[in-house]
Amino acid sequence: MTLRNIIPEVLTFVFYLLLQVFFVRQLVFFDYAFCFSYVAAVLLLPFETSRLQLVILGFVAGLFVDIFYNTTGANAAATTLIAYLRPSIITLLTPQRGYDERQVLTLRSMGFGWFISYLGILTLIHHFVLFMLEASDWGLFFQVILKVLASIIFTNTVIIILQFFRKE
């Protein structure tokens, strides 16, 4: 990856984090659907990003959000986990012909079905871990599941809408 390619990726990463803490933070529907669009900062990194880089960036992104949300590490834990699992999920979803290493991970380049599957799996894991850490009580399991499902729909919808504004 050249410097010419790195700068747009860094700017996109920072954009998603700033979008989360300054705008999306206030978007909540009925105290159940929360938007965590910042996960796109990690999920949309290039294919060739190493697992170590993903984990470090996932931790940094989650910690950044934790600082603004006062969630004492819950976002950092959930985002680090999905950053670690991301290569395995990509391998699981890899078609037989494989991917071009230089291919950009976007809705347009990957197709709607693949992109929704990819987002759905990783946001499910992220939201479940995040809300269970916040609840810290298995007695709230069904309430957590409702929050997870509503938040997956909300988060994925926002990320997909943002994909239409991405320049290829």
* CA 152 – CA 70 distance, rounded (Å): 21
Query: Sign of the CA dihedral 41, 45, 51, 52?
Result: negative
Place of tokens 């504004």: 165
* CA 36 – CA 8 distance, rounded (Å): 21
* CA 103 – CA 80 distance, rounded (Å): 23
Task: Report DSSP state, residue 45.
Answer: S
Q: What is the pLDDT of residue 112?
A: 83
Q: What is the pLDDT of residue 70?
A: 85
Q: What is the pLDDT of residue 84?
A: 95
Name the stretches of the chain with pLDDT < 50. none
* CA 146 – CA 18 distance, rounded (Å): 27
Q: What is the pLDDT of residue 147?
A: 92
H-helix or E-strand containing 32?
none
* CA 93 – CA 115 distance, rounded (Å): 10
H-helix or E-strand containing 147?
helix 141-163
* CA 86 – CA 42 distance, rounded (Å): 9
In whole angstroms, how far apart are CA 56 and each of 59, 77, 82? 5, 11, 12
Q: What is the pLDDT of residue 69?
A: 85
